[in-house]
Structure 1
Amino acid sequence: MASRDEVECWLTDMDGVLVHENHALPGAAALLQQWQDQGKPFLVLTNNSIFTPRDLSARLRSSGLDVPEEFIWTSALATADFLKSQVPGGSAFVIGEAGITTALHEAGFIMTETDPDYVVVGETRNYSFEAITKAIRLIVNGARFIVTNPDATGPSADGPLPATGAIAALITKATGKEPYVVGKPNPMMFRSAMNRIGAHSENTAMIGDRMDTDIVAGIEAGLHTILVLTGISDQAEIERYPFRPDEILQGVHELVENDPFLAEIND
């Protein structure tokens, strides 16, 4: 991708890009409206597999952002899309919440504890020793091991929480089996998102706030990559990596045409 002017379709991360702690970031609402007014296909992406698109749409609405559920693509949806392509009408034992179970049901999968095709581990706040033990035994007996996203920890008001990647590591240690991870930084999540909106890598951009997921996956998928500094990355973080995004912006407000926030800063 040589220029932002060539971008016709947009993928954007959610937390740290459009919202921060349930508050819309400057320019987010205007940018979403701009894409809709210009007829630009777009999807809001998240590695979080707990919530359904409907849940996330409601969460964004409470933050002041109007994003219909059909414009949201989660690691749970990407995982269900991938498994449907591999074993149509297959079966799975799932550790996770409504986001992943709903996506798999809608993809035609059967949830079972008896000889499933897959063990699927997603995000949840209710991990149980019994369920993890069952997952380990099923994998040892031949079920294929799938993880929605690799994040080892998640944020909370009290500090980090163990997340999908941490539980997956426990299961790997017990079984000797590495999972196939569908979510970012696997570029497959971006490819499935592009398929959803009929986009091509040659004219699609990805906006993210993480070098190790959003940007590296965008580069590997052949997208125009934009890093915003409203999330976890700063210049020191950028320098840690051997690759670079195509653009580094202070925030999504810089993508808004005639943005009043940017004009106020310049004044």
Structure 2
Amino acid sequence: MNERAMKGLLIDLDGTLYHGTTMIDGADRLIHYLRNESIPYRFVTNNSASSPEEVANRLEAMGIPATSEDVCTSAQATAQYVAGLQPKASVYVIGESGLHEAIQDAGLRITDQFPDFVVQGIDRNLSYERIAQAVRYIREGATYILTNPDLLLPSTNGLIPGAGSIGAMLKAASGKEPVLIGKPSSILMDYSLTQLGVPNQDTWVVGDNIATDIAAGIAADCGTLLVLTGLTTAANYSSYSEAARCKPDLICESLEALIQTVSNHR
């Protein structure tokens, strides 16, 4: 049993609190418990397409209490990272509304000509012309930032290519490695810790994916707790942990078990 205190939680979403548009049993009770006990938490997602308001509305529609202030997205972390490197920088964006909004909110300037940075996330209306421009700018010296490495993401029609798949094309064509923001990178986690206001030694990362959630928590020196509610199950745990080359500090079979674990670690 890991005795690190649980004074704050960074919680994954898809596979941890819901599947598609269906809440996982206990997700609403978990959030009510955290609120009632005044335990700080943030929802942390690699999603760069949606704004925090859109993510919160989606959770509320499933019955999971949420506000936009509870949400930390890879788009927000990306924008803050770029602004920290170069305030008011010019940015060529491949992405959807959530990424555009985050870039503008950070005081950065979106441009289609001679950018300082190429920032790329998921873009379901992407054209070959915009890919070609991005490659040209990266090869000419623009810093390439990738919001998240997810190769696939769920949709109503099954799995579709994610930001990582677009990134694989940009990387191959430009010959440049991107700066990775989303899980398993610690950059998204560091941004989320700042929003949470709890030191990493007292914060636990909760998720269902060893290769992203748990690896990111380890990279940020947080406690890590795997829930067997989504991608990882008791049957595939050994193979997944071996492939990811890491293991969580704790494992909970359900969200009800997670509530009890948090209570035991107060």
Task: Give, as a single letter, the amino acid of the residue that structure 1 aligns with 2:3.
Answer: S
By how many angstroms is 1:157 displaced?
3.9
Tell me the CA shift for residue 222 of structure 1: 1.3
Aligned to 1:248: 251
Deviation at 1:83, TM superposition (A): 0.8
Structure 2: gaps of 5 or more residues: 262-266
Alignment match, 1:3: 3
Partner of 2:264: none
* Offset of residue 236 of structure 1: 4.5
- CA 50–58 in structure 1, closer or farther in 2 if over 3 Å, else same: same
Q: Which amino acid aligns with 1:166?
A: S
Contact 2:79 2:103 in 1 (8 A): yes
Look up the match of 1:128: 127
CA deviation after TM superposition for structure 1 residue 2, in Å: 3.4
d(CA) in 1 for partners of 2:166 and 2:224? 30
Deviations 1:102-133 (A, max 9, x none): 00100000000111110011112111111111
Q: Distance in 2 between matches of 1:102 and 1:91?
A: 14
CA–CA distance in 2 between the matches of 1:211 and 1:7? 19
Q: TM-score, normalised by structure 1?
A: 0.92
Specify the alignment match of 1:89 in structure 2. Answer: 88
Counterparts of 2:237 and 2:191, CA distance in 1: 27
How many residues align structurally? 257
Gaps of 5+ in 1: 259-267
In structure 1, how many angstroms separate the alpha carbons of the residues matched to 2:149 and 2:223?
Answer: 23
Conserved 8 A contact 1:153-1:162? yes
AA paired with 1:63? M
- How many percent of aligned residue pairs carry the same amino acid? 37
- Letter of the 1:117 partner, please give it: D
Secondary structure of the equivalent of 2:205? strand
The aligned runs of 1:154-165 (5 Å cut-off) are: 154-165=153-164
Q: CA deviation at 1:257?
A: 4.7
Q: Is contact 1:23-1:64 (8 Å) kept?
A: no
1:264 corresponds in structure 2 to none
- What is the CA RMSD across the aligned residues, in angstroms? 1.5
Cross-structure match for 1:35: 34
**Aligned mates of 1:74, 1:195 — CA distance in 2:** 13
Counterpart of 2:155 in 1: which secondary structure? Answer: coil
CA drift of 1:24 comes to 1.2
Task: Please name the residue that 1:231 is paired with.
Answer: 230
TM-score, structure 2 normalization: 0.93
